[in-house]
Amino acid sequence: MRIGMGLNSSTNTETLRYMAQLGVQDVVLNTPPVPVKNGKWELVDLVSLKNRVNEFGLTLTAIENTQIDMRHHLIAGGPRFDEQLENMVETIRNIGRAGIPMYTMSWRYPRFYRTGHVDIGFGAQGTAFDADVEDWPNVIDWELTRERAWECLQTWVKTATPVAEEYGVRLGLHPVDPPIPVVGGVPSLLFNFENYRRLIEIYDSPANALLLCQGSFSQFAGADQDNGESIYDMIEYFVKRNRVLYVHFRNVSGTVPKFNETFINKGYVDMYRAMRIYAENGFDGFFMDDHAVGTIGDTDWGHRARAYSNGYIQSLIETVTDTSLYGVH
């Protein structure tokens, strides 16, 4: 098990150097600044992206999301569905040709959504969601039934996964966040354990996997209950089946309909117990911090909060594996 970190919409030199300083091995670039050409990403731009990360002794292990306007009709069954499906599949080919082994995608439209922030201690801020004040407007001007939404997802998985296998790429889908049945007038699919089990059964392959955003999974209704569908049960289920690419290792207080993000070691999830489940079931991927909480004097990216989370994750890995990540110096 290893340490990773992510960077959104940027390949900032100082941030990549900072990751290297902290001992990060795997880098995830979320919606990187790759130019969109005729609706797809080209090989030359992806190779350039990978080389930029490699300059710092880091590995670009995963790309997380293309620009949303490359795939919103794909997800939400819009009139450009076929066009975006073809372009995204070609983009997967180019990701594989560039030697980038993973592509993960948030199967949701609209994107990440919160209703506000809460004080999580002495002025530190965590994002929050409250279904009673949810007011996201409709984001599509076409009709989308839940049945059609499943057809879109199934078509994507059955079309893209064989291509990904051929080109050496593993695909993974991130949950809808907040995990509720409808967001912005769009029926959600990946908001509970049952639907994720259905996802991996569409195409039986390690290339049809999931990005286990532990924060989002912890927000699922009932994930905090000892009912066979707890966050711990979900981790064990998917790790045992080799369907977890990597983990967004964050913590939350509460589940839908009302929750908030908090410090990595202060939510309802026992992170030590979770880490033991990953280790005991043979997980060999990486963990990364996610959604840095707001602390005094921190940067927009959250250097302080991320260093705190990164150190905590490293310590947990070393504790449950009884192995130093970096050896004796």
In SS3 terms, 120-170 reads as EECCEEEEEEEHHHCCCCCCCCCCCCHHHHHHHHHHHHHHHHHHHHHCCCE
Q: What is the pLDDT of residue 184?
A: 87
Distance CA 193, CA 198 (A): 9
Q: What is the pLDDT of residue 12?
A: 92
Distance CA 9, CA 49 (A): 12
The single-letter DSSP state of residue 293 is: P
Nearest CA to 99 out of 138, 47, 53 is that of 47
Length of the chain (residues): 329
Whether the per-residue pLDDT at 328 is higher than 60: the answer is no
> What domains appear along the chain, each with residue ranges and CATH number?
2-321 (3.20.20.150)
Query: 243-274, pLDDT tens digit by residue?
Result: 999 999 999 999 999 999 999 999 999 999 99
Identify whether the C-beta of residue 238 lies closer than 8 Å to the C-beta of residue 244. yes
Distance CA 96, CA 76 (A): 26
Query: 76-105, pLDDT tens digit by residue?
Result: 999 999 999 999 999 999 999 999 999 999
H or E element at residue 187:
strand 186-187
- Tell me the two tokens of residue 303: 């250097």
| Average pLDDT value for the chain | 95
Query: 4-22, pLDDT tens digit by residue?
Result: 999 999 999 999 999 999 9
With a CB cutoff of 8 Å and minimum separation 6, the contacts of 196 are 175, 190, 210, 234, 238
Distance CA 128, CA 124 (A): 13
DSSP reduced 3-state for 299: coil
Percent above pLDDT 90 for the chain: 93
Q: What is the pLDDT of residue 200?
A: 98
With a CB cutoff of 8 Å and minimum separation 6, the contacts of 300 are none
Whether the per-residue pLDDT at 111 is higher than 80: the answer is no
